[in-house]
Structure 1
Amino acid sequence: MRNISILGCGWLGKPLAVSFLEDGFSVKGSTTSEDKIDGLEQLNIEAHLMNISENEEFDLFLASDILIVAITSKDIDGFENLISQINNSSIQKVIFISSTSVYGRHNRVMTEEDETLETPLTEIESLFLQSDFFETTIIRFAGLFGGDRHPSNWFKGGRKIPQPKGFVNMIHREDCIEIIHEIIHQNVWNQIFNACADHHPTRREFYTLAKLSKGFEVPAFENNENYEWKIISSKKIQETLNYEFIHNDLLAI
């Protein structure tokens, strides 16, 4: 189990691929942009140009033990085609990167046991979990930040930030990468996990500090008397993997 294919070498997938190479894995990586092929190959990633929305054969890319799906596509037909090809490949394990956006705002703490919204994303999750040819673990990441993705750059152009009394659910890219490594290292499959820092400051606290930390003015907020919120619980993944978040104090970051 030392061969990994990463579908989507973007903001998360590219540094994830590098981290596995550093651990001695053989890594294939995909991109939909021909311009990015050379950059991936320079990092010693076996680069593949592929788009699941096109009717292609992915045999070479799927010649691995583990597949990590790190693309944002919601193309259900494309995923059905991909899964049919995974079923006939050497892939034994799949990690599907999902999102905590599958949970509605019900003004309470949300766990993996809670009902999800009916969305293309939850339908795609089910497609992976239903296959009898490989084992899948779903990771529902909260809001992603880290690297060049800094919250100070969000809500630009005088946009008012909604729900200032609501709570922030976020996770740093370094924690995303480490959690994926731990799932593979500890051989934890057929699971659904939420992954989100334990710290949940209000949106007013978080975005004010984020803007000020980069020299921006104090942001404007909507005046919401009634507000909707959710707090994502990561208790399950912390207990199952014995995991401690690297970046758990969002205001310190």
Structure 2
Amino acid sequence: MNSISILGCGWLGLETAKFCIEKKQKVNGSTTSTEKIEILEKEGIKPFHLELNEEKIKSANSNDFFQDFFETDICLINIPPPRENKEFYKTQMEFIKNHLLENKKVTKKVIFISSTSIYKDSTFPLSVSTIEESFENDVQNVEEANRKDIFEAENVFIEASKKTDLEVVILRAGGLMGGKRVAGKYFAGKKDLNTGHIPVNFIHRKDLINIISLVAEKISEDRLFNDTNTNSFEVFNAVCPIHPIRKKVYEKNAIEYNFESPTFSNDEQMIDYKIINSKKIQEKLGYEFIYPNPLYFPVES
């Protein structure tokens, strides 16, 4: 892979862009903030100010809007669902998809950063020895999804890949940690939490960046979709393979980062939760996690 377009250079996207620059790859990066243009330029990223809001999508021709942004080997879509008007997420993805299909100059290879929030929680006694896990094939229709907006956004690209030459990889990321994001800090000093025995579904940012890079290489070199794979799309759960309980993670965070630990009740009541299985990404892509256990995420400044 020689070049990549990253739609959304935020907390994950910017670090992914830096990683690609270090590998001597050309990077187009988008931001919704004009103030961030200079930051992208300083990192060696070709910056684009792109705001996918309702006004712009209704009034803009996609060729004029995106210009040459997608004229690269790979497109990484890394924009979260809107906090309000969540149905608009599908509209945003359709606008992007239509541009990719209608413009012959742009890439037809897409990596879409999704979320494990798409999976419904299950209610199991925390003491049971066998707990049902969530796999990629568990969500085949909108009724099986916990988040309709995420399912519909993914489905825009999946359905397009079945009918066109678009190649799509969906990465359903777990809770993203790393840098200044420390899970326990969000609950510092909280009292009598009843979620201490729930397993976590986290992934470190460095692992997700490495997974993105691995997928990009495979898809750009036509090593992911071939004669043995009748689909032109794949879905992978990008989550640590080890799932310690929240209590252990938060208490360890408090010690390592010197903040007040939350306290937990001993009530092991029936609580909704899920465990995301990531064997597919390890077996099909051969990926080995740098940080497979959230208990041992590195202490970072």
Given the two structures, how large is their TM-score scaled by the length of structure 1? 0.93
Counterpart amino acid of residue 85 in structure 1: H
Is the Cα contact below 8 Å between 1:152 and 1:214 reproduced in 2? no
Q: Does 2:210 match 1:167?
A: no
Q: 1:225 to 1:231 in 2, by over 3 A?
A: same
Matches within 5 A, 1:94-133: 94-106=110-122, 107=124, 108-115=132-139, 116-131=145-160, 132-133=164-165
Which stretch shifts more, 81-90 or 149-158? 149-158
Paired residues of 1:30 and 1:47 also in contact (CA < 8 A): yes
Aligned-CA RMSD value = 1.8
Paired with 2:185 and 2:99, the residues of 1 have a C-alpha distance of 39
Letter in 2 for 1:120: D
State the aligned residue count: 253
Are 1:207 and 2:268 counterparts?
no
One of 177, 194, 216 as aligned partner of 2:259: 216
Q: 1:63 aligns with which of 64, 68, 71?
A: 71
Q: Per-residue deviation at 1:59?
A: 2.5
1: CA distance, partners of 2:287 / 2:3: 24
Cα deviation for residue 224 of structure 1 reads 5.5
Q: Give the 5 Å matches for 1:13-92.
A: 13-53=13-53, 54-55=56-57, 56=60, 57-74=65-82, 75-89=89-103, 90-92=106-108
> How many angstroms does 1:133 deviate by?
3.9
> CA separation in 1, counterparts of 2:98 and 2:218?
27
Cα distance in structure 2, aligned partners of 1:162 and 1:69: 36
Mapped partners of 1:171, 1:32: distance in 2: 26
| Amino acid aligned to 1:193 | F
Q: In the alignment, residue 121 of structure 2 is paired with which amino acid?
A: R
For the residues of structure 1 that align with 2:120 and 2:268, how far apart are their CA atoms?
18
Offset at residue 159 of structure 1 (A) = 6.6
CA drift at 1:65:
2.4
TM-score normalised per structure 2: 0.79
What percentage of aligned pairs have identical amino acids?
Answer: 36
Once the two structures are TM-superposed, the CA of residue 6 in structure 1 deviates from its matched residue by: 0.1
Paired residue for 2:216? 184
Range with bigger deviation, 36-45 or 53-62: 53-62
More helix by share: 2
1:136 paired residue among 146, 168, 171: 168
- Residue pair 1:194, 1:234 contacting (<8 A) in 2 also: yes
Q: Distance in 2 between matches of 1:78 and 1:150?
A: 30
- Ranges in structure 1 where 5+ consecutive residues have no aligned partner: none
Deviation at 1:162, TM superposition (A): 4.5
Contact 1:155–1:161, Cα closer than 8 Å, also in 2? no
Match of 2:276 in 1: 232
Of structures 1 and 2, the larger Rg is shown by 2
